Structure 1
């Protein structure tokens, strides 16, 4: 295991973070790219960044709400009406962030836009002709394909070494559904495990290129990602206690400000479980994998 670490193939994550211990002032005048900023976690995080003095360029399909937010928070915020599953739209978002930035650089990228995907499609009855119906994979497009677009663009803009003293941070929105079985939503669970896979791939590659990669994994929280009726079922019938949207924003700020955090999965949980509303999950360590890799003689 130590030999593999020494080769630099598996540098692994940083030490676990301590919730609530970060310096918000480190984010002043930083430039942020954010996807899905018109509601829920995205809007809360956008506002939290602006409160620290950061600049935020964001994209969303909700044109009227996006324009309202941008007008309210101008000149710190720029809004682009667009679709994260569109490569040209995401390219335009990153270009707009460069224009917004006081020094023409992008410091933080938060790939957040997501959906539960409506009906899963895998338990659907056959069509009238008895043939299987093609599933709607919009959930995969938004939760995984679009995240890959965002990550690709981040790596493009960060292909040159960072400026002296510059800290660059890539943060992804996964879910606790990416850490255990989610039988009701096959696509959703698959995409969130996929986002976790992106983080684990990029956390070593990114450090070699001068940026950090982490994720947040929220528990259930009442946002527009699902209907009020669905949330009522989750609360009343399943007995779930909700996490707070604001705690997701705080977790993102922590990961953005803490220049020692890399490769960590941060769970956003009910405050009954953690006073700060977020915890280091400690579920993305490498010891077990490295022991197996040594046994199997994984090549360099």
Structure 2
């Protein structure tokens, strides 16, 4: 999605359009069983909120100055407002983004697969 946005953002303005990406963090919804969320939370992951997601989406839709950006729906420990404008195109060498990437794997380590025996 980021790559597609990066390609489209260069020409979207010619068509009076804007292209942005909303990158969500873990958000508790009804799509998974409660045990899945409990497992991820027990691994030390803090959830972002659906309300912060709605506010971030409203910001993208209502502010015509936001064009070609990647906005990250984040837990409050990383963003007091619940969202960050990543504003960068490369994650290499950025300690904060490396922390985000590490925490994405806490609840389901790659070596154990996405869904494995004994988990939701």
SS across alignment from 2:28? coil
Partner residue, 1:267: 72
Q: Quick check: 1:263–1:284 contact (8 Å CA) kept in 2? A: no
The Cα RMSD (Å) is: 1.4
How far apart, CA to CA, are the structure 2 residues paired with 1:266 and 1:226? 24
How far apart, CA to CA, are the structure 2 residues paired with 1:202 and 1:226? 33
- How big is the shift at 1:205? 2.2
- How big is the shift at 1:259? 0.9
Question: Which runs of structure 1 show a deviation greater than 3 angstroms over 4 or more consecutive aligned residues?
Answer: none
How far apart, CA to CA, are the structure 2 residues paired with 1:270 and 1:262? 23
Alignment partner of 1:206 out of 9, 12, 27: 12
Cα shift readout 1:101-150 (whole Å, capped 9, x = no counterpart) = xxxxxxxxxxxxxxxxxxxxxxxxxxxxxxxxxxxxxxxxxxxxxxxxxx
Alignment partner of 2:62 out of 240, 257, 266: 257
Q: Where in structure 1 are there 5+ consecutive unaligned residues?
A: 1-194, 286-300
- Bigger radius of gyration among the two: 1
Partner residue, 1:171: none
- How big is the shift at 1:210? 1.0
How far apart, CA to CA, are the structure 2 residues paired with 1:225 and 1:284? 30
TM-score normalised by structure 2 residue count? 0.69
How far apart, CA to CA, are the structure 1 residues paired with 2:59 and 2:41? 29
Partner residue, 1:244: 49
Partner residue, 2:34: 228
Alignment partner of 2:88 out of 272, 275, 283: 283
TM-score normalised by structure 1 residue count? 0.29
How far apart, CA to CA, are the structure 1 residues paired with 2:88 and 2:11? 19
Which of structures 1 and 2 has the larger relative contact order (alpha carbons within 8 angstroms, sep 6+)? Answer: 2
- How big is the shift at 1:206? 1.1
**Which residues of 2 match residues 143-222 of structure 1 at below 5 A?**
195-222=1-28
How far apart, CA to CA, are the structure 2 residues paired with 1:231 and 1:213? 31
How far apart, CA to CA, are the structure 2 residues paired with 1:249 and 1:199? 20
How far apart, CA to CA, are the structure 2 residues paired with 1:200 and 1:262? 10
Cα shift readout 1:211-257 (whole Å, capped 9, x = no counterpart) = 11111111111013322111111001x21001011111111111111
**Which residues of 2 match residues 1-300 of structure 1 at below 5 A?**
195-236=1-42, 238-284=43-89
How far apart, CA to CA, are the structure 2 residues paired with 1:218 and 1:250? 12
Task: Give aligned pairs, total.
Answer: 90
How far apart, CA to CA, are the structure 1 residues paired with 2:46 and 2:19? 29
